[in-house]
Chains A and B, each alone.
Chain A
Amino acid sequence: MKTQVLIIGGGITGTGLARDLALRGVECILVDKRDINAGASGGNHGLLHSGGRYVATDPVAARECHEEGELLKHLAPQCIEDTGGLFIAVEGDDEKYIADFPSLCAQCGIPIQPMDPEQAREIEPALSEKVIAAYSVQDAAVDPFMLSLENLSHAQELGVKWLSHTKVRGFEIRNSRIRSVRLEYTQTAEEVAIEADIVVNAAGAWAGLVAGLAGIPIHILYSKGTLLITQSRITRRVINRLRPASDADIVVPGGVVSIVGTTSIRIDDPDDAYPTIKEVDLIIDDAKVMIPALDKTRYVRAYCGVRPLFGSAEGDGDRSVSRGFTVMDHGGQGINNFITITGGKLTTYRLMAEKTADLVCQHLGVSKPCLTRTKPLPASHHDRWTEPALAPKVWLKDHGRDDVILCECEMVPKSVVDSIIDSIHQYGGKADLHSIGLRSRIGKGPCQGTFCGPRVMSYLFDRGELSADQCLQSLRDFARGRWKGLHSILWDQQLKQVELLEAMECGMLGLELKEE
């Protein structure tokens, strides 16, 4: 295969870059070793930052977040719920920080409104009685899955080729250029080579590992952050703790749920990250000081993402390392057609893509300007099924006689699964339980896949997506994937739920046993 640009990494950075380049008429192939948003882009808080969080430690990132956040609200409204946000402090929080906050925000150009604690509790009744200071900010909630999928859809429409489950294995380098990239289709173990004029490494936390394959040393530390999903939505707005950035500071609404987090734990291997019980307890015990209901509410899932951190983080801990991004042209290190883009935020992905695309175009001698600053992200109809409660709405309005509900918790009908399969087919892929789960609410309700898992599997068999042999493995992988998010929050209701899951999948179906 040949292309102008090969982009490694199907997170928000990679998909955003693919769209940016495609809009400038540059031909690209985008690959990911797993699927869309398999990395931090699928494991983040979904907060479109107002910038307030970074005013003390990273004014540049703060300003970027503010500007990009406001842009995205206009360019991609379908992915954003413009909730607004509050910064609140409770008794015992750092008084000096509270006092400095308004001027720090002003210095970064971040608009805030002071609010008295009574008023804050009136508009957000879940807040603690111990609130002593409150400011309203321009935070919003963003659906990261929809954002990446929409970028990908538009990029594909413009001709970008997307290869999921395609992992970079190595580079063939001659005369200071990458001549070809060796990749493996992980589902079949087949190898393929791609020749590209420019190779962009947008592998997030894995960027160091990918660069290492080309002999370029990038020292990256891995910081895991864990998040908890509540069964129902606790606040209308984003709630931030008004204190120097620390654990469990933020509660973000995500449609019908709230997301609470996060932590910052150094890990050795970005592929071996999962939420631990210790983190979960820490998050709840800390966040309940802001919002007491978080102590007793039901949590349906925990998940985590890995942040790449550069350079030394001595002394002040991982949170003091810049949340800004870095574009590296490896020309200076002896490879002339290799660029790495990593770090940054979901909120600033567009800017990251713009800067990287500028550099790519400079190499290619393309003079077209960036269009993403003004051109709205088109709303595609395939990528909307991650939105909670949308599937049932559409189904109730109008459904065919055969259109049964496959996932009862989230009311996802067969027709939605069909539409997702079609969108996967459109570009030559095949569907499995994981890829359906990624693109819909299936498996995300209270039953966490106990009932919908086998049903959707059975349907994928009927549709010819899964062979009889692949069915069970797909069901196992799906159960394992859900489990990763469950095992740290198993008490009360959720403990009953997984007892039922295990009774079905092990007690009844024997999925844990080797096939005879």
Chain B
Amino acid sequence: MNLDPMECDLAVIGCGIAGMAATMFAVNRGLSTCQVGSPREIGFASGLLDLLGIHPISEAKPWHDPWAGLDALVRDVPQHPYAKLNKSDIRAAFDELLEFLKSAGLPYSRHPEYNSSIITHIGTMKTTYGVPETMWKGVEAFEQKKPCLIVDFTSLKGFNAGLIVNRLKPSWPGLCAARIDFPVNRLMAEVLPEHMANTLATPNNREQLAQLIRPHVNDVEFVGIPAVLGLYRPTDIASDISQRVGVPVFEISTMPPAITGLRLKEAFERGMGEKRAHYFPRNHVTGVKHEKTGRFKVSIGPDNVSQTVLSKGVVLATGRFIGGGLHGDRTNIRETLFDLPVYQPETRTKWHRVDFLDRRGHLINQAGLETDDHFRPLASNGRPAFETLFAAGSILAHQDWKRMKCGAGLAVATAFGAVRAFVDHFRSKNYVSK
């Protein structure tokens, strides 16, 4: 079946954080926008929004002040994608994102000037920047080392309150742990976070959970539980539970894919729906042609139902190997849609270090697309491959988000930069043509 081509200003390829953010920025700027890709929960992971935690990675140097860290990073690694933006751009990108998420029912909290520390499901502390509001009390409790109870559920694997408490107790003596059977599905050995979240949409079930927690609440000021407080309206559910328990209850991230990531995906989709972007989830771009008119002809599969989009510009946000934007065979790394040149180590022998945890990081993580200052990927002649093709997110070269702890921040900031560059270009062209 072939549907009529659809025309738009901008086509965003990819539905990870970068693609979602690009569409949001585009729609906010009045562009008619199409977005294609299959958003997978894993891409949104913990729902935490890192800005910059570590630099340089070889020294594993942490930054409490990510903005100061950015200065150092841009100075030391001028090719880093962040270096193509001003700090004020990155701030503006975050502000706009958090505003959008709030209006989509998923408010985030942060120290605007500082990173925050978050407890993980195995009791390490993670440095991050934007924190789901339902987790924020945990940040405060940790900062002030308030007496706090951590609860886990027998039926939730890999989240261990005892382990968290034992690991953190030396620096946080007021911690204690409890294990309870999650109510309602009590007879099941294993319940997935998503089912728990659905269960807690009902007040009656929340009361049951609160009743199980209450006996353990002796002289603590906070209670931390695995992140299962509903898929929708989590802040309302968190305050409802807090009231029932008697002290503030906050969420702690679980193993990815986590509810907190799922919420982020849902919030993007919901928010976008209201803004009327054309959205093709569960679809794949099977090919893109650049036409003589300067427009891109984007073919969308699966093969049996194909749709064509004609767009004036494209934001390529297809991610790395997990996302599918890059592919590695035994000899070479390539970009999968346009076959753009990929910056990469000369041979596979240099892709990975022999030690997984080598301080210097794996060189393959620096591979990716190189762009000009307007986030346009370069052809082999060093010039932009196309006038209006932009790239954003983890597909970009010269960044190692896993080690630098800058994944979501990089995705959002570069999406901001790419869309802005397109808007500038679009406006200048439109003036000429009108």
Physical interaction between A and B: yes
Q: Name the A residues within 8 Å of B349 (CB-CB).
A: 276-278
When each residue 395-425 of chain B gets 1 if its CB lies under 8 Å from chain A and 0 otherwise, what string results? Answer: 0000001110101000000000000000000
When each residue 336-364 of chain B gets 1 if its CB lies under 8 Å from chain A and 0 otherwise, what string results? Answer: 00000000000011011111110100101
Shortest Cβ distance from A69 into chain B, in angstroms? 35
Interface-located stretch among A162-170, A374-382, A436-444, A495-503: A495-503
Q: Residue of B at shortest CB range from A507?
A: B402
Number of A-B contacts (CB under 8 A): 136
Q: How far is the CA of A500 from the CA of B323 in the complex (A)?
A: 10
Q: Is the CB of B187 within 8 A of A454?
A: no
Q: Residue of B at shortest CB range from A457?
A: B122
Q: Is the CB of A487 within 8 A of B352?
A: yes
Closest 9 CB pairs of A and B: A468-B166, A483-B356, A507-B402, A458-B160, A455-B158, A512-B357, A468-B167, A496-B321, A404-B190
Q: Name the A residues within 8 Å of B121 (CB-CB).
A: 454
When each residue 145-185 of chain B gets 1 if its CB lies under 8 Å from chain A and 0 otherwise, what string results? Answer: 00000000011011110110011000000000000000000
Q: How far is the CA of A308 from the CA of B155 in the complex (A)?
A: 49
Which one of A281, A454, A513 has the highest number of Cβ atoms from chain B below 10 Å of its Cβ? A513
A458 interface neighbour in B163, B187, B322, B359, Cβ under 8 Å? B163
Shortest Cβ distance from A20 into chain B, in angstroms? 39
Q: Is B123 an interface residue (CB 8 A)?
A: yes
Q: Is A96 an interface residue (CB 8 A)?
A: no
Q: Is the CB of A510 within 8 A of B157?
A: no
Q: Is the CB of B357 within 8 A of A511?
A: yes
With A462-B162, A491-B328 in contact, do A510 and B126 touch (Cβ < 8 Å)? yes
Q: Is the CB of A495 within 8 A of B167?
A: no
Q: Is B54 an interface residue (CB 8 A)?
A: yes
Q: Is A122 an interface residue (CB 8 A)?
A: no
With A458-B163, A468-B167, A487-B356 in contact, do A499 and B320 touch (Cβ < 8 Å)? yes
Q: Name the B residues within 8 Å of A506 (CB-CB).
A: 357, 402-403
Q: Name the B residues within 8 Å of A404 (CB-CB).
A: 155, 157, 189-190
B330 interface neighbour in A462, A475, A491, Cβ under 8 Å? A491
Q: Name the B residues within 8 Å of A495 (CB-CB).
A: 321, 328, 364
Q: Name the A residues within 8 Å of B359 (CB-CB).
A: 512
> Which residues 60-106 in B have Cβ within 8 Å of A in the complex?
60, 62
Q: Is B46 an interface residue (CB 8 A)?
A: yes
Q: Is the CB of A512 within 8 A of B322?
A: no
Interface size class of B (residues with CB under 8 A): 35 or more
Q: Is A514 an interface residue (CB 8 A)?
A: yes
Q: Name the B residues within 8 Å of A462 (CB-CB).
A: 160, 162
With A278-B349, A504-B256, A510-B126 in contact, do A401 and B357 touch (Cβ < 8 Å)? no
A514 interface neighbour in B60, B125, B352, Cβ under 8 Å? B60
Q: Is B211 an interface residue (CB 8 A)?
A: no
When each residue 465-496 of chain A gets 1 if its CB lies under 8 Å from chain B and 0 otherwise, what string results? Answer: 00111011001100110111001001110011
Chain A residues proximal to chain B, CB less than 8 Å: 274, 276-278, 281, 284, 401-406, 451, 454-455, 457-458, 461-462, 467-469, 471-472, 475-476, 479-480, 482-484, 487, 490-492, 495-496, 498-500, 502-504, 506-514, 516
For this complex, 30 residue pairs linking A to B, each with C-beta atoms less than 8 Å apart, are A277-B348, A277-B349, A284-B330, A401-B189, A404-B190, A405-B190, A454-B122, A455-B158, A455-B255, A458-B159, A458-B163, A461-B162, A461-B163, A471-B122, A475-B122, A479-B356, A484-B354, A491-B328, A491-B330, A492-B327, A495-B364, A500-B322, A506-B402, A507-B405, A507-B407, A508-B256, A509-B126, A511-B124, A512-B359, A513-B54
Q: Is the CB of B46 within 8 A of A508?
A: yes
Q: How far is the CA of A514 from the CA of B61 in the complex (A)?
A: 10
Q: Name the B residues within 8 Å of A487 (CB-CB).
A: 352-354, 356
With A451-B255, A468-B166, A483-B355 in contact, do A502 and B328 touch (Cβ < 8 Å)? no
Q: Residue of A at shortest CB range from B358?
A: A512
Q: Is B219 an interface residue (CB 8 A)?
A: no
Q: How far is the CA of A508 from the CA of B402 in the complex (A)?
A: 8
Q: Name the A residues within 8 Å of B255 (CB-CB).
A: 451, 454-455, 504
Q: Is B42 an interface residue (CB 8 A)?
A: yes
Q: Name the A residues within 8 Å of B36 (CB-CB).
A: none
Shortest Cβ distance from B350 into chain A, in angstroms? 9
B401 interface neighbour in A278, A484, A507, Cβ under 8 Å? A507
Q: Name the B residues within 8 Å of A277 (CB-CB).
A: 348-349
Q: Is B45 an interface residue (CB 8 A)?
A: yes
Shortest Cβ distance from B105 into chain A, in angstroms? 25
Q: Is the CB of B357 within 8 A of A480?
A: yes
Q: Is the CB of B354 within 8 A of A274?
A: yes
Q: Name the B residues within 8 Å of A500 (CB-CB).
A: 42, 322
A502 interface neighbour in B158, B160, B256, B402, Cβ under 8 Å? B402
Q: Is B329 an interface residue (CB 8 A)?
A: yes
Q: Is the CB of A472 within 8 A of B60?
A: no
